[in-house]
Every structure is written in structure tokens, then in C-alpha cells.
Amino acid sequence: MKRILALLLCAVLLCGIFSGCQEDEGAYIPTGDALDDGSGSNMLPTQPPKEQQLSMVYSPSASLNPFQTQDLNNRTLLPLLYQGLFSVGRDYAPTPILCQRYTVSPDMKTYTFYLAAARFSDGTTVTAADVAASYEAARQSAYYGGRLQHILTVTAVGAAVVMELDTPFQNLPLLLDIPIVKASEVDSAEPLGTGPYVMDGSLTGRRLRRQAAWWCKDTADLVVTSAYIPLVKAESPSQVRDEFEFRDVGLVCADPGSDHYADYRCDYEIWDCENGYFLYMGVNAKSKLFEDDTVRRALTHAIDRDTIVEEFYRGFARSATLPASPTSPYYDATLAGRYGYDSLKFTTALTDANLQGAPVTMVINSDDSLRVRLGRRIAKMLRECGLEVTLLELTTAKFTEHLIWGEYDLYLGQTKMSPNMDLTPYFKQYGSLNYGGMTDTTIHAMAREALANSGNYYNLHEMVMEDAQLIPILFRSYAVYATRGLVTDLSPARDNLFFYTLGRTLADAHSEG
């Protein structure tokens, strides 16, 4: 659309030339043989097209506090304003940012972090107290609280930050890309950060201003280097789309898995950005149908995940037959292949158990219309295999009530998985995601062992799939749209569209004792 508008503008300018209309001084006018009398005296001076400037959207009604805001527009800006102890790329590999070095106790339950010589945008030094206060705020937040559930205490000890855990952790830095702000501003709507940009008010509106004295400007491999990034007000997905298609906004992040997603129809470059949202089916092993282990194990084969990804998420999701993101190092493709789509296997299991035509109740959260449509599609898949499915489309309160009391055979669930794909909330007694009597001390112990040694994820996932109370379906992604040619080398990572490193690896920061 932007190219079309540019062509129309050129046509109007040419029309003005040949009709004798006077042009504004300094306007860029194409020149060529048709305007030249041969002497060169009538040649009009050429000027290069104005360089495109990156601009983005923000939601003025929402906070820019990283521990409070859930707004996608504002969260897209956060990596330009803030930094964490570590940054995590698309490959789930952490790299040190505010952390200069760290140590781990022999039992892997105590981590000590020593800080780089970093400064906030006002020039003040980042202290251990700032980091501790930021993590305390994150632990209490809805956005980060789940991933930090195993941290018992965060304490500033001199110039170091000490984290005590309730279980051994092999790779805690994977979870520590959380923004650090000044301790005195953890509740502020716009706390100061240490990132390459700072929020700036100007006569023409709000913008991000590049920090001239940024503490790590000589070592960062930034993909965005503009002196200013103008911010355009937009609240709804359709407003964001319109600002991108018809005006000057150059980069936006959208959620194809949202009820309110608006289609983009202009010329653009596009990337996917995993967001951690995990869609799965929960199985009540106490129901008459699924108390049969063989039938329960075969259920995974009834779900055509690839069709769901294309029909409902426009390709912005990844099919998953294991309870981990397929892009994470914990996902074993060979193991995953054992649990993929093969409806005949489920049909055969039902027939062998004399359960063809058996009634099944599936509950869905009706406050999410996309999930309702998806649930209906899955119900159709199950009916084609021989089950008689009754759908209960319930409001959030009623949906949760049915899960707590086990009043279902199946439910369609969605949660934001921690970056280390922690499954303890599903199998721990009274775990936050434990419904329908999913408590299993053996699987819970294996889930904790996987946190301590990632080599155990294979065995954990095999055990979960054979238990078959948790049937993975997919992991969702955001869509990142940019004006063609505006940004290069973009490598959007979870919670960080503008991922960059400071040229150091995790091994560089990890020291003994």
C-alpha cells in the first residue's frame, strides 16, 4: 500500500509539471529527456528520496512498566528501553548483558551474580539493590511470576545479587532476561532503564531518543540505530494495522492468535516471534472413557495439528507433540514423531476397547472466541474417530470451576510456558496447572530433575506422553511486520524483537567459586 501511495504521488507531481502548476520549493521532481532542451539549462536539480525513518506505535492508556503492562504494543518497545542480567535469543541461548559474571553453588540451588559497570539513562550506576528490587517486583507480577516460582529469595549482598532456589537449576540465566529498573521506580508507569533508548517528549509528540552516552554503545550489535523513533498512538489491533498500512509507522508486532487480530494486506517484510503460549488438551484420567490407559495414550494421534496451525493461526504457530517448544533445545524430534497425527491409531484403540460411540464432555473457555472455534474443530476430529462429543462453552469463571471439580473428560487449555519449559505446575500437588487429579509424584520428580539436568527432558517427555493426561497441540507466535528494507538483520526472540548481544557468551560469564 505504501508503494502504491508513493507511485500515485509521483503521478500527481508529473501532472503538475505538464499542466503548468507551480510546485513547492524543494520538491523532488523526476527529470529526464522530456524535460531537457538539449542545452542542460532547463534541467531541474535532483534530490535523493527522503530516507525512511523507523517509527512505531504505543498505547498511551497502558503502562510502560515491564512488571505491570500486558499491552503488546508497549511490550514491543521494552527491549529498547531496558536490559536484563541476560538476553535470550531465538535459539533459547542466554547471553550476559548486565551480568559481568556469576557463580553457582555445588548443589545448584544458590546463584550469585556480579554486575557489569552499567548505568541508567540518567547516568546513575546500576546497583545490586536495583536488581534485587526489580526481581522482587517481577516475582509478584502476573507476567513474570510463573517463571520465577522456584526462586525463594533475591538478596543484594554488597555488590552482588544472590538468588536462593527451592530446587537445583542447571540454567537459571535462561529465565533472567527480565528488565532491570531503578529500585525507587519499580512501581512507576515509566521507570528508567539501561537500554539504548529513553522515552522522550517533544513538541510533535512522544518518541524514543537514542542515548548518546549509552553505557555499552561500543560493544552492542544493535539492529536499530536511529537517533529518534517517533511513536504513534494506537490502541486496537485494527488501529495499529491502519497506521502501518496507510501512514508512516514502519514496524509493528501483531498477534494472529488473538480474537481481535486484523489482517495485513500491504507490501511488507514479515518475521515470526515465538511468544511462549502453549495450547494443549487436558485429559481427566478419572473419567470412564480415559481411565483406559491405551485409549488415553492413543488420543494424541487424533489431533491434526498442522491443519489447526494453518486454519486458525495463519501459520504463526508450531505444531508440538511434546510439551516443549519445537524451537527449544529440549524438543526431541525423533521422540515427537512417535506421537503425531494418525487418526487410524485412535480409531483402532476405541474399537479394540469397545468404546466406539462413547460420550465425551469437552469444556472450552467461551471468553476466547478463537479457542471456541478451535475446540469445535477438535471436536469434529474426535467425532470422525468415533466419539460422541458434547461441547460445554463456558465463561472463564465457570470454565475454571469445572476444571477444579473435575467436571469434564477433556478441556482445551492455554498457558504461557516458562522459557525452560518447566512442567512442575502440572504434576505437583496443588500445582497452579494441576486439574483433574493430574498429581503424579514420579513425573513431578522427573520434572524437577530436568530443571537440574536438561538431559532428563527426553525421559520426562516420554513419561508425560505415556501418562497422556497432557496432550500438546502447538506453541503460538507473534507476527512482526516491517516496511520493506527498513530494518535488516532482525532476529526477533521471545520478549525481545530487537535481540542483540554484547559479544560475550554464557561461558564467558560463568566462573567457578
Distances in Å between the Cα of 404 and the Cα atoms of 12, 29, 292, 390, 440 are 65, 69, 22, 19, 17
Contact 282, 299 (CB under 8 A): no
Q: What pLDDT score was predicted for residue 436?
A: 81
* pLDDT at position 28 over 90: no
Residue 374 corresponds to which cell in the numbers above? Answer: 478451535
Q: Using pLDDT thresholds of 50, 70 and 90, give the confidence band for residue 23.
A: very low
Q: What pLDDT score was predicted for residue 50?
A: 38
How far apart are the C-alpha atoms of 81 and 508, rounded to whole Å?
Answer: 25
Q: What pLDDT score was predicted for residue 16?
A: 37
Looking up cell 529513553, which residue turns up?
Answer: 198
Largest Cα–Cα separation, the chain: 95
User: What is the mean predicted confidence (pLDDT) over 490-512?
Assistant: 93
Q: Of 46-50, 270-274, 286-290, 327-331, which gets the smallest average pLDDT?
A: 46-50
Contact 58, 233 (CB under 8 A): yes
Mean per-residue pLDDT over the chain, rounded: 88
Residue 330 corresponds to which cell in the numbers above? Answer: 529440549
User: What is the mean predicted confidence (pLDDT) over 331-337?
Assistant: 97
How far apart are the C-alpha atoms of 72 and 483, rounded to whole Å?
Answer: 19
Return the DSSP state at 43.
P
Contact 180, 85 (CB under 8 A): yes
How far apart are the C-alpha atoms of 125 and 191, rounded to whole Å?
Answer: 15
Q: What pLDDT score was predicted for residue 488?
A: 82
Q: Which helix (H) or strand (E) holds 306?
A: helix 305-313
How many residues belong to the chain?
513
Contact 251, 80 (CB under 8 A): no
User: What is the mean predicted confidence (pLDDT) over 127-141?
Assistant: 97
pLDDT in tens, 428-486: 988 899 998 888 999 999 999 999 999 999 999 999 999 999 999 999 999 999 999 89
pLDDT in tens, 412-421: 999 999 999 9
pLDDT in tens, 340-357: 999 999 999 999 999 999
Residues 6 or more apart whose Cβ sits within 8 Å of residue 211:
121, 195, 196, 197, 198, 217
pLDDT in tens, 195-247: 999 999 866 689 999 999 999 987 888 988 899 999 999 989 999 999 999 98
How far apart are the C-alpha atoms of 91 and 261, rounded to whole Å?
Answer: 27
